[in-house]
Structure 1
Amino acid sequence: MTLRQAQGTNRQAQGTNRQEAVEVVRDDKAVYAAGAVVWRLTAEGKLRILLIHRTKYHDVTLPKGKVDPGEMLAQTAVREVREETGIRVHLGVPVGVSRYFMRPKRQKVVHYWAAEATDEAIRRSAFVPNHEIAALEWVSLKRARKNLSYPVDLEILDEFERLVDDGVLRTYPIAVLRHAKALSRSEWDGPDAGRPLTERGHRQSEAIVAPLRAFGVRRIVTSDAVRCVQTVTPLANAIERTPVMTELISQDAWEDGAADLRKVVGKRVRSGKPAVICSHGPVLPGILSELALATGTMHGSYLGSASALEVGAFSVAHLSATNPGSGIISIETHVPKI
């Protein structure tokens, strides 16, 4: 698995922009895991985060767990939060990676995201103390710093608190997806827009369903080319939504100078709703550029990295739901290894 992250807080009022890029490539000697800083606001508007008290280790930590075979990291984070706390969450901004050694030469790498727990999700939790988790505890950031057992968790909390201080904790995602593996032009006699997915492409389209759902995607916009429509069909079936098919982001329209990326991207940004936009490799840089323009975000090399996607891969841009002037808060890229 590969996960690239670029984080930036675009503070137009102060005229500053912070960008940092991190690329994490799987090391077969490492153990990979994922989790979240789960947070909520009380009726009085006070921020609380969720800590877990583990039975076996007699410690206090953040919810997390190891990646199951075939899982992508975002999928793992959501599953582990639910298994350990009973709470269903959608992922927000990534808040860091912790690394530590379980034993000599055996490193554990844990990816974390911020994740808001809604009141409804908390009410639906059926958590009871068990042989793994002794208790759950909602605490303030100050109390969390005193209670957490490990320094690596405090480092994750530092990044989380920066989001709080910047006023950009609550976000919504726009995922930009490159279609899965399709038949090559040499293998296809019909029009280019009619090229279907290969067997591998269909596997890729299934593999990205859970990771995209982890970010709460509820709207799907796709190029009307067959390979794009087939890529998003499993996701559309899973979330019971009909994709919006448009030639405005198709490769044919882009090559003919008839595309209108600005119209499509602008509508998605204005909606403020979690969405995925599926298009073609040559079109993706323009889509990411329009996303930066629509949010007032400074351009940088991170846009090139986020748009240089393998087939079936997607980049998630996190936008502030409460502070539109903050621009793109973070971009992360997910690659299915199929």
Structure 2
Amino acid sequence: MTTREASGAKAATRSKWTDKAVYAAGAVIWRLVDGKLRILLIHRTKYRDITLPKGKVDPGEMLAETAVREVHEETGIRVSLGVPVGVSRYHLPSNKQKVVHYWAAEATEDAIRTSTFVPNREIAAIEWVSLKKARSRLSYPVDVEILDFFANLVDDGVLRTFPVIALRHAKALARSDWDGSDASRPLTDRGREQAASIVGPLRAFGIRKIVTSDAVRCVQTVTPLAKALDRKISKTALISQDAWEEGDDDLRSVIGRRVRSGKPAVLCSHGPVLPGILSEVALATGTIQGSYVSSAADLEPAAFSVVHLSASNPGSGIIAIETHIPKV
């Protein structure tokens, strides 16, 4: 076999693995016990191994909601996702590639007290251990790599974070198909499906505040989330497209309040306004702006970017940005 043929064969194999990839999601679950960091490990019954909680994506799910669901199913603990801590890739016996996305997630005392875990056919036991012990007990090197990335966050002092989420409204009727004002344009049927589909992944980040442009298409986008969370919607013209086009917007004050509050929040706005929103988050946190900020603002309908900030010192800069795209 020539070098070119060998290279081609490898490329074909990689392509086959990609086509048949199995996607999963999980988390590095942590808590503080008497001021000491502890990590949650699971002992799997069938495989007789020790690993991090994770599981495969169900049909129609987005990765973030998979991570939260699987953590609860395997450990009985309900969590909200923090900073992403890496992606592991390995090959299954079937020759498929498995791709697992991980987040950091704190297990609060309330969540632990209400845990429903009991040993079962899938999980024999769960245990809380130190970082050092977790490294030595994990069965797979790919899990250790994820843990090492998490440890870097610990070393950097950004264990506790909160998200500010920039959300573009779902698919709306085209201007050419609507006789009313632009702000009154409603969502299409697909847009309503998108709005429903992003409730799970947005809830995964522990949203406590919902802020939206007062345009109908934006309000309709966050209404399913507000109902699911039983929270009120804060409508404002200050992040609307009309105000932005007329120069009457005030993104800075809206973003400033969200950063100062330290509470997980979602802000629903419009495509042309999103770059300004992300730019103001960067400015409010002393972050040097780069292409990643622009990329995070380039969203299709119902997609959203999660900006993770330090809970103790949000002015220390953006810790991470991740973008989620609806499947609908």
- Report the TM-score, using the length of structure 2 for normalisation: 0.94
Picking from 222, 241, 246, the partner of 2:236 is 246
Residue 322 of structure 1, CA deviation: 1.4
**Structure with more helix by fraction:** 2
Matched, 1:101 2:91: yes
SS of equivalent residue, structure 2 residue 151 = helix
- Report the TM-score, using the length of structure 1 for normalisation: 0.91
Matched, 1:212 2:190: no
Q: Structure 2 regions of 5+ residues with no counterpart?
A: 1-16
1:235-289 Cα shifts (integer Å, max 9, x gaps): 0001011111000000000000010000110010010000000000000000000
- Alignment-mate amino acid for residue 32 of structure 2: L
Q: Identical aligned pairs, as a percentage? A: 76
Match of 1:31 in 2: 22
Counterparts of 1:72-91 in structure 2, within 5 Å, are 72-91=62-81
1:313–1:335: 8 Å Cα contact kept in structure 2? yes
1:167–1:323: 8 Å Cα contact kept in structure 2? no
SS of equivalent residue, structure 1 residue 169 = coil
2:163–2:205: 8 Å Cα contact kept in structure 1? yes
Higher relative contact order (CA 8 A, sep 6+): 1
Picking from 68, 73, 81, the partner of 2:58 is 68
- Alignment-mate amino acid for residue 29 of structure 1: K
SS of equivalent residue, structure 1 residue 103 = coil
- Alignment-mate amino acid for residue 37 of structure 1: V
Matched, 1:287 2:277: yes
Match of 1:152 in 2: 142
Q: What is the RMSD computed on CA atoms of the aligned residues?
A: 1.0
Count residues in correspondence: 312
Residue 104 of structure 1, CA deviation: 5.6
Counterpart Cα distance in 1 of 2:18 and 2:24: 13
Larger Rg: 2
2:303–2:324: 8 Å Cα contact kept in structure 1? yes
Counterpart Cα distance in 1 of 2:73 and 2:140: 22
1:168–1:326: 8 Å Cα contact kept in structure 2? no
1:249–1:259: 8 Å Cα contact kept in structure 2? yes
Match of 1:52 in 2: 42
Counterpart Cα distance in 2 of 1:103 and 1:149: 17
**Structure with more strand by fraction:** 1
Q: Which runs of 4+ in 1 moved over 6 A?
A: none
Residue 324 of structure 1, CA deviation: 2.7
Residue 185 of structure 1, CA deviation: 0.5
Residue 337 of structure 1, CA deviation: 1.6
Task: Decide whether aligned partners of structure 1 residues 28 and 70 sit closer, same or farther in structure 2, where only a CA change above 3 A counts.
Answer: farther
